[in-house]
Amino acid sequence: MPSRRYIDTYVHLGRIGVMIEIACETAMPLKSTEFATLAHDLAMQIAAGNPADIPSLIHQKSIRSSDKSVCALLESAEQYFSEKIQIIRFIRWSIDDPEPVEDKPPPKRPANVMRVVK
């Protein structure tokens, strides 16, 4: 199981935001621009493809190379870095998505609370 983790974000035109966490086995890939590019491309893929979960993301056609799947791109990266690379999790927000339903309202703060600044 890969243990070194990397987080990347992508915001598309202020309307879609993505945060992705990927992992590798050692710290060496984390220092490379190729790994950062891979993470950013995956975040852009999530923004464009709106996958429901990691398995559906893996099977999408790549937005960078339409003749390859995201799985093939990850396999190429694993060969390049000679270690396992894994998508741990991601989240995608869109202002076009419906607002989430809150189970309970946020806690109320006292109306007249002063903060002392020293």
Residue 17 forms beta bridges with which residues?
Answer: 11, 93
pLDDT at 9: 97
Question: 59 in a domain, yes or no?
Answer: yes
Question: 114 in a domain, yes or no?
Answer: no
Domain that holds residue 89: 4-94
Sequence-distant (6+) residues with CB within 8 A of 14 are: none
Tally the domains of the chain.
1
* Cβ-contact 45, 62 below 8 angstroms: yes
- We report the CATH number of the domain holding residue 14 as 3.30.479.20
Q: Indicate the pTM of the whole model.
A: 0.80
pLDDT tens for residues 7-63? 999 999 999 999 999 999 999 999 999 999 999 999 999 999 999 999 999 999 999
pLDDT at 47: 97
Question: 100 in a domain, yes or no?
Answer: no
Question: 86 in a domain, yes or no?
Answer: yes
